[in-house]
Amino acid sequence: MLDYYQALDNLIDQLPHTDITQIPIEKAHGLLLAQDIYVQHNTPLFDNSAMDGYAICGEENKNWQIIDRIAAGDSAQKIELKNGQAVRIFTGAPLPKGATAVLAQEDTHQEETQLFCQTPTIKAGQNIRYCAEELSKGSVLLEAGQALVPAAIALAASQGYATLPIYSPLRITVFSSGNELLNPTQALSDGKIYDANRYLVLAWLQQLGFQVADGGILPDNQQSIALALKNASQNADVIITSGGVSVGEEDHLKAALLSIGELTLWKLAIKPGKPFAWGNIEQTKVFMLPGNPVATFVTFHQLVLPALRKISGYNRQQAYPQAIQAKALFDVQKTQNRRVFLRGILSIQNNEFCVEALPNQGSAMLSACVKANVLIDVPPEQLVKSGDTLTVYPLTDEVSSRWKQ
């Protein structure tokens, strides 16, 4: 069995990025830029006024003669200022030749065509936005790997990009496995339970913006499972299953995958989550999660999400789950031979990160997952005493961004 960190390294290093495609800029929010894009036009495109006021020639003068007017969108090519001359100008309007500064409107007064400045000093170049002072044509505008947040999209649009090169959004199909499972619309009967894992994974993926398909519940039959997986692989980049991957006589997923594809990894030295496995059906990646709900929760967050980030275009460092060091406010008095991920609450006390372990840590007890904002990493064969420093992993973006501040 592999330790968690060795398995995560292997997983991240072996997964390629998805294909690159062009997407309309209005649909690119939240996606990842796949290639550098470059400045197509100097910014500003021409020398222009930073405010409403007057463009002047000769900042050492006491007054200037107003000879013209230039608004945003006008051409200034036929206007050339000589010393002692000025033009009325508006924000964003091009500067005429010979302009040495722009006076803010509120710093001036006018008597017929004569302009006077009410401030004691005038600085050469004041209130002028010079051509290419922000961006120079041919330089990198946005680097590959940039998340296309609203500001990045606006910057690309300001340079005339109608489409952007992005890593193709992943198409993911999600299955649960087991004859005991029911959908919430069905009535309970002896020996049956409601499926939670599929809804957990579907909700998580939808929240992250992936293209998700619900594959339903797979029966405990190897041939039926193999057919369903093969069919799903025709239209999915990734297949995620839960249950049916352990060593019992009714656990058929591993054998089904081996009959139509390849198994890369099976069994991890973690708790919960030991029977995690992954492989592929031709180009489609397959991640098989354990059946216990908390084991699904842990392995999905700690292994599948990093894998999906890597495939989606993130680099190695970006793909890894964010880790925070925190002081334990609890004890673990019995060692385990596997790495344990406890559900916990991270807080700040006396200006330091502190973490408490929640009750109900059983692998079938989802209630602790609802309350938790972190997973707590307890290494194998290690006791924990209150005050020890432990690694924790935030479970939500909200918690992650808060601790970064």
- Do the beta carbons of residue 253 and residue 220 sit within 8 Å? no
How do 238-242 and 284-289 pair as beta strands? parallel
Provide the pLDDT for residue 363. Answer: 76
* Confidence tier at 252 by pLDDT (50, 70, 90): confident
CATH code of the domain occupying 4-19+169-319: 3.40.980.10
Q: Which fold has domain 324-404?
A: Beta-clip (2.40.340)
- Report the distance separating Cα 298 and Cα 19, nearest Å: 28
In Å, how far from its chain's centre is CA 124?
Answer: 44
**48-129: in CATH 3.30.450.20:** no
Query: Rounded to whole angstroms, how far apart are CA atoms 288 and 341?
Result: 19
Local confidence band at 403 (pLDDT 50, 70, 90 cut-offs):
very low
Alpha helices by DSSP H, 161-207? 197-207
The residue ranges of every structural domain in the chain are 4-19+169-319, 23-38+142-167, 48-129, 324-404
pTM: 0.79
Query: Which is higher by pLDDT, 173 or 244?
Result: 173
Calculate the CA 24 to chain-centre distance: 19
Give me the mean pLDDT over the 376-402 stretch: 84
Q: Residue 179 to residues 25, 113, 305: CA-CA distances in angstroms?
A: 45, 90, 27
Beta strands in 112-233 (DSSP E): 114-117, 128-129, 140-142, 163-167, 171-177, 181-182, 193-194, 211-218
pLDDT tens-digit series, residues 16-72: 988 899 999 999 988 889 999 999 999 999 999 999 999 999 999 989 999 999 999
